[in-house]
A = this chain, B = another copy of it.
Amino acid sequence: MQFVAAPARLSTVSANFEADFAARLHWSAEQDAAIEERVAAILADVQARGDAAVLDYTRRFDGLQADGVAALELTQAELKAAYDGLPEAQRDALSAAAARVRSYHEAQKKACGESWSYRDADGTLLGQKVTPLDRVGIYVPGGKAAYPSSVLMNAIPAHVAGVPEIIMVVPTPKGEKNPLVLAAAHVAGVTRAFTIGGAQAVAALAYGTATVPKVDKITGPGNAYVASAKKRVFGTVGIDMIAGPSEILVLADGSTPADWVAMDLFSQAEHDELAQSILLCPDAAYIAAVQREIDRLLPQMPRAEIIVKSLSGRGALIHTRSMEEACAISNRIAPEHLEVSSREPHRWEPLLRHAGAIFLGAYTSESLGDYCAGPNHVLPTSGTARFSSPLGVYDFQKRSSLIEVSEQGAQVLGKIASVLAHGEGLQGHARAAEMRLK
């Protein structure tokens, strides 16, 4: 069978550009009412019946039978055995990746996750105390999209933040366990792990059951049921974000070997049919060269079928008037992954306002960032980089304001507070401030 991957060819000088661009970009995060309703029922059931409900859904959805939820817990010995049983190259790669991810997140904690305070001249102290969450749940997808790297990317920042208890859930349909996932849980220092998944696992973590401890926050990607469940329990617990399909945008000036860029587009397209790969480039000849490399390399790819569907359905090669225009279009997309495949990445980087992660220069393939460069690979998708950030140490910490008003400070602040409180009709507030006046 002959595969043809035909990403849309757009040009910003075309009269139809805006319409074509909008059509390609369109992806609706709209909620499916049927899924919402089923998820609401599962959450209510787990909240009411606890372990028994979790067992029922695990049997029904994962084809996995157990006498109790305790039987679905993976022991530390089992996690370690999975690690010990890996081929040496995988063990080393996992450990090396974990070490780099850890050291990046340690730097992140130093840069933006420490407590701070200062004193006014009158002795009044103001600041913020930063503390780790007590207990977090990380959701790791099972089945065909079981990614051990996601275990590292979720658990390590929690660990670096200082979270004492990290509870992992991972569905194991028909009981099939992925040894790399278990090994990653060992390397990342997961506290407890359960082979449960879906909305029922989210519910167990959010409300707690006799066996699964209630957590303070749930992070990690999942399918539509998991996403809907996370959104619904938001408020009872914290959540990270709602992930859409993965995306890559390559900004190219034509200086990177065309086959490298073609493969970078594949590396996103191979995730799933809805994944989006886009190339923005002012050089038409280079775009043609990338398409030729796509055609040449495609038959070599084991996941060619998915790549074809993704590139032909959602991919685009966009010819722009200039690199500046390419940067402007990239900002409209706010991509999850943004490669600046240019000889002058630092010339363009300041123009790039919205992206989950920015990969600078030809050597920085997205896949290096996905696994082991150090930064987190859990990134905002579907344009949400406009307002949200990579998963990080800050997601596993929270802040408490610190205020200590001195006797002298209270004389000044009390008068201001009193005027404003009376203005809002809150006399109790005003009196509380006035009582501190001499």
Q: Known contacts A133-B387, A372-B417, A419-B93; is A429 also within 8 Å of B107 by CB?
A: no
Contact of A423 among B90, B111, B124, B131 (CB under 8 A): B90
Residue of B nearest to A417 (CB): B371
Query: Does the CB pair A390–B401 fall under 8 Å?
Result: yes
Q: A116, B124: Cβ atoms under 8 Å?
A: no
Instruction: Look across to chain B and name the residue whose beta carbon is closest to the beta carbon of A331.
Output: B134
A404 B345 Cβ-Cβ under 8 A? yes
**Beta-carbon contact of B353 and A134 below 8 Å:** yes
Q: With the chains together, A346 CA to B365 CA distance in Å?
A: 50
Contact B402 A360 (CB under 8 A): yes
Which residues of the partner chain B approach A112 to less than 8 Å between Cβ atoms? 112-114, 116, 128
The residue in chain B whose Cβ has the minimal distance to the Cβ of A107 is B118
Residues of the B chain whose Cβ atoms lie less than 8 Å from the Cβ of A402? 349, 357-358, 360, 375
Task: Give Cα A147 to B427, complex, Å.
Answer: 13
Residues of B within 8 A of A359 (CB): 403-405
Answer whether residue A428 sits at the interface, using C-beta atoms and an 8 A cutoff. Answer: yes
Q: In the complex, A103 Cα to B389 Cα: how many Å?
A: 25
Given the complex, which residues of B lie within 8 Å of A29, measured CB to CB?
235-236
Q: From A50-58, A258-266, A317-325, give the one contacting chain B.
A: A258-266
- In the complex, whether A11 has a CB less than 8 A from a CB of chain B is no
Given contacts A371-B416, A420-B94, contact A432 B366 (CB under 8 A): yes
B387 near A238: Cβ-Cβ < 8 Å = yes
> How many Å lie between the Cα of A303 and that of B436 in the bound state?
21
Residues A424 and B147 in contact, CB atoms below 8 Å apart: yes
A93-112: CB near B (< 8 Å → 1, else 0) gives 11011001000100110011
- Taking the closest CB of chain B, its distance from the CB of A400, in whole angstroms, is 5
Q: Which of A416-438 contact B (CB under 8 A)?
A: 416-417, 419-421, 423-433, 435-436
A98 to chain B, nearest CB (A): 10
Taking CB atoms, residues of chain B closer than 8 Å to A386 are: 133-134, 216, 398
- Sort chain A's interface into a size bin: 35 or more
Beta-carbon contact of B368 and A417 below 8 Å:
yes
Whether A289 sits at the interface, judged by CB under 8 Å, is no
Chain A 273-318 residues near chain B, CB threshold 8 A: 297, 301-303, 307
> CA separation between A263 and B96, bound complex, in Å?
58
List residues of chain B with CB within 8 A of the CB of A399. 389-390, 392
In the complex, the answer to whether B358 meets A410 with C-beta atoms within 8 Å is no
20 residue pairs bridging A and B, Cβ less than 8 Å apart: A93-B415, A96-B416, A111-B116, A126-B373, A134-B386, A267-B428, A267-B431, A301-B428, A303-B425, A357-B402, A363-B407, A363-B436, A365-B405, A365-B432, A365-B436, A367-B430, A368-B413, A368-B417, A372-B413, A375-B403
Interface residue ranges, A against B (CB under 8 Å): 29, 89-90, 92-94, 96-97, 100, 104, 107-108, 111-114, 116, 118, 124-126, 128-129, 131, 133-134, 146-149, 180, 216-217, 231, 234-238, 242, 257, 259-260, 263-264, 266-271, 297, 301-303, 307, 338, 345, 349, 352-376, 379-380, 384-390, 392, 394, 398-407, 409-410, 413-417, 419-421, 423-433, 435-436
- 6 pairs of A and B residues whose beta carbons are closest in the complex: A238-B387, A360-B404, A93-B419, A357-B401, A375-B401, A389-B399
**A356-B401, A363-B407, A389-B400 known; 20 other A-B pairs, CB under 8 Å?**
A93-B420, A104-B126, A107-B118, A111-B116, A112-B114, A125-B360, A126-B373, A126-B374, A128-B375, A148-B424, A216-B387, A231-B234, A235-B384, A238-B384, A263-B432, A267-B426, A357-B403, A365-B410, A367-B428, A368-B405
